[in-house]
Amino acid sequence: MKSTDDLLQFTMIIFVRTFKIVLIRLAYIDPITAGELHLIAHEPAFDRLFFQRDRKDMFLTIALNNGPQQHVTIDGISYEFPANTILPLMVNQTFTFTNPEQIIAWQYNRNFYCIVDHDREVSCVGFLFYGSTETMFIALHDQQQKKINLLIEVFIDEFGDKDTIQRDMLQMLLKRLIIIITRLAKQQYIKDPLLNEDKLDIVRKFNLMVENNYRMQHTVQFYANQLNRSPKTLANTFALYNHKLPLMAIQDRIILEAKRLLMYTDKSSKEISYVLGYGDAAYFSNFFKKQVGTSPSSFRNAISPLLSPK
């Protein structure tokens, strides 16, 4: 019989309890379920410790910029990352920060907390992580900053309590964090009062379905059938959300994955076309060129010098 200490691995590299958070690496790892939760703060090598591409363990990331405005590069695209702002990052997204030591980040895998299973509790699937319109930078005002800082303190305490309910406590805190961020994101990114929860639910489900099926299902009709809606109804709902048309959302997701495969693997354009459900490599190449403005091979040649290791 394994003891609790054998089942639950706790790691703390450096922790100094002051009013300012310093270098912290905390981890909960359950070897039976393979569930993992990490809390990292002010780690200069953060974006290299948990570089997502080609990892067997896929983590969702919630990153807080706890310092001045900086830049984050996500899948080769640079964005301004304002101070006191939270950025949700999906699995398989690659990211680097100009000042990673300013970042406080939570990372967790599906085995620790499956947002699909808990979607009704936190209402974030297809919105917080799987929205396909834009990368969300969620601003924290003074009151929200205080709330998040208090939550971080409780997280740190719970990482230190190695008992039989530690997983439950950490899951509860993570759920609280996701709910806070989701509420703020809805306030900041949903402006139309006509977009009620039922309509938002359609958008969320559509985005999640696209995430799970974009490699083989490229038509709006497929997703409309799954949602028991007409393509026109989907288009009207997306318009309320200031969302791209459903077909554009599908195509953007395909192109995003094609770019990732071109940037971070050595797969040929033909191999990538098959991975993404295109039997005709020439058709895929033309589709890519129409969407991106350049051929897959030209895109790879142009981006490769920018991805050299730090």
15 pLDDT higher than 50: no
Say which range, 18-22, 78-82, 269-273, has the weakest mean pLDDT.
18-22
Tokens at 236, concatenated? 């009207």
DSSP H helices, 125-190, are: 142-160, 166-189
CA distance linking residue 235 with residue 243, whole number of Å: 9
- What's the pLDDT at 135? 84
| pLDDT per position as a tens digit, 89-133 | 987 778 889 999 999 999 998 888 875 555 454 445 556 776 545
pTM of the model: 0.73
Q: Judge contact between 181 and 138, C-beta under 8 A.
A: yes
Helix pair angle (246-264, 197-213), 10° resolution? 40
Apex 230 CA angle, 227 and 232, nearest 5: 130
- At residue 236, does pLDDT exceed 90? no
How many Cα neighbours within 13 Å face the side chain of 111? 13
Task: Collect all residues with Cβ–Cβ distance below 8 Å to 68 and sequence separation of at least 6.
Answer: 83, 99, 102
pLDDT in the model for residue 49: 53
Q: Residue 192 — pLDDT band, cuts 50, 70, 90? A: low
Two structure tokens written together for 127: 């919105």
Residues 6+ apart with CB under 8 A from 107: 36, 37, 38, 40, 50, 59, 60, 61, 62
Predicted confidence (pLDDT) at residue 4 exceeds the cutoff of 80: no
Average of pLDDT values for 192-199? 64
Q: Choose between 224 and 162: higher pLDDT.
A: 224
Query: Residue 57: its pLDDT value, please?
Result: 57
- pLDDT reported for residue 18: 38
Q: Give 138: exposed, middle or buried? Use CB within 10 Å, 0-12, 13-18, 19+.
A: buried
Residue 280 three-state SS? coil
Reported as a single tens digit per residue, the pLDDT across 258-291 is: 988 898 889 999 999 999 999 999 999 999 999 9
The mean pLDDT value for 151-173 works out to: 91
User: Per-residue pLDDT tens for 24-35?
Assistant: 889 999 888 888
Q: What is the DSSP letter of 40?
A: E
